[in-house]
Amino acid sequence: MTACGGQPNGPASGTTGEYDAMIGKTIAYAGFRAHALYEKSGIPAELGSLERSQWLDPEAIAELQNRRLRALLDHIKRHNPHYGRFWAEHGADPDTVRTTADLVKLPVLTREHIQHHWRDMISSSPPENEIILDHTGGSSGKPLRFAMDRRRYFSRMASAYRHDRWSGWDFGVRTAYIWGHPAAFRVQPSWRTRLRRRLFEPYIGLDSSNITVESMLGFHATLTRYRPRVLVAYANSIYMFARFLQERRLPPLPPLAGIITSAEVLGDEKRRVIEACFGAPVFDRYGSRETSVIASECEARQGMHVCSEHLVVEIQKGGAPAQPGEYGHFLVTDLSNLGLPLIRYRNEDLGLPVQGACPCGRGLARIGMAAGRQTDFLVTPEGQLISGVALATYLTGHAPGIVQAQIVQEVPQELVLRLVAGEGYGPRTEEFFAQQIPKFVSDRMTWRIELVERIDPLPSGKHAYCISKVDPASVF
């Protein structure tokens, strides 16, 4: 591969460097295990289990799913009366569901249902002090509150570690995040987070919520000094950064093992530009706040492997399973969240099943993405780029009374916030926008609210929650 600036950017070599890296990983993994023991998280054991189970054949993984599904349904029967009422209203009998193939006997769970009933959906066991409340940022334009039990919280972390390792990441490996959520980097991290970063997860964060020529020059300088081995980034953010580096013909970054992209749709052209610029393979990832990592590319990069030990992903078209080559809506069942179970949850993303065995040898199911979250950059009159995913996620996730939202920019001077109002919408909502929007946008930009009954997806099925008609390349 040829990196930005026209110089080769190959992998690091040298016996001494490899030996130092191995020692560093060993020490970091020891720190990880010590930290997990202190927290009583069980993550090392879960991670070890996942690293073994990924090599099981599909039939063995299916049997594991079936056992966990039956255990989950038994738990719901004893501790979650809401699901009993919900299924009864639809004439469904969970006692007839014995395998994942039987899930079609149960009704689809929508985001709207969770929005209205999430408190009632929390199980009576585990106890309240083991339930972790959370919310999405509204990446589909519809913010969502949900919960999980403590054990599931830690198993999600183990799943992420397993998938991260496919990209070249490991404990002790320096990582840089080019991420578009400013709160992730501006809030003072807890002592536990600082301890993790020191012991086994060294990383830096680069805020891509507001991008300027100066900030991208700063990214380049910081990454050159820090020398990360893995980049984790919003797909659009790193694509724009790659284009900038190519245009300016800046010196290549130190060698990278891999690049993980997420949060936004990654097309073939964007992948080509990113890989050509950074001289490293891109590993695309698909996930959501409410279910964590759903699927990731392995080294073969021929579809994304589902985290099948904890998740079942059905793909439905017109009320029936999608056939090979057909795109449909994802229905996700979390087999391990006892706190607030998600059974056949339609998350409004689209994809298709990938047939056959993967060359990597893993038995995990594979999916391909079709049309999911689509985000444009907003462009200020001064030529500043604002991450659409950052702004839309923050505003829709925190503003009271918003059912669905979309940000539209026709000209650099104005934004239109198209909103579907729900319970709780009122003066406090508009006051929130008045206080928060100026923190993201130029003082030369105006904004207005447009209340609508609904926001339909694009003809392609994409849920475009930020649309800009202004070309971001004009900034360069």
pLDDT (0 to 100) of residue 458 = 61
**Residue 139 pLDDT exceeds 70:** no
Entry field: residues in the chain: 476
Nearest-angstrom CA–CA distance, 378 and 383: 10
The residue among 189 and 121 whose pLDDT is bigger is 121
Confidence of residue 126 (pLDDT cuts 50, 70, 90): very high
Mean pLDDT computed over every residue of the chain: 88
Tens-digit pLDDT profile for residues 421-444 = 888 899 999 999 999 898 888 889
Q: Give DSSP secondary structure letters for 248-263.
A: HTPPPPSP-SEEEEES
Tens-digit pLDDT profile for residues 365-377 = 999 987 445 557 7
Specify the CATH superfamily of domain 373-475: ANL, C-terminal domain (3.30.300.30)
pLDDT (0 to 100) of residue 420 = 86
Nearest-angstrom CA–CA distance, 178 and 184: 11
Tens-digit pLDDT profile for residues 232-290 = 998 888 998 999 999 899 999 999 999 999 987 788 889 999 999 999 999 999 999 99
Residues above pLDDT 70, as percent of the chain: 89
Residues above pLDDT 90, as percent of the chain: 62
**Residue 294 pLDDT exceeds 80:** yes
The mean pLDDT of 448-469, rounded to a whole number, is 77
Confidence of residue 136 (pLDDT cuts 50, 70, 90): confident
Burial class of 158 by CB neighbour count within 10 A (0 to 12, 13 to 18, 19+): buried
8 A C-beta contact, residue 97 and residue 105: yes
**Residue 103 pLDDT exceeds 50:** yes
**Domain 15-40+168-280 listed as CATH 3.40.50:** yes
**Domain 55-147+301-368 listed as CATH 3.40.50.300:** no
| Residue 312: other Cβ atoms inside 10 A | 21
Confidence of residue 13 (pLDDT cuts 50, 70, 90): very low
Residue boundaries of the structural domains of the chain: 15-40+168-280, 55-147+301-368, 373-475
**Residue 155 pLDDT exceeds 50:** yes
**Residue 345 pLDDT exceeds 90:** yes
**HEC profile of 95-106:** HHCCCHHHHHHC
The residue among 324 and 201 whose pLDDT is bigger is 201
Nearest-angstrom CA–CA distance, 343 and 435: 38
Same fold, 15-40+168-280 and 55-147+301-368: yes
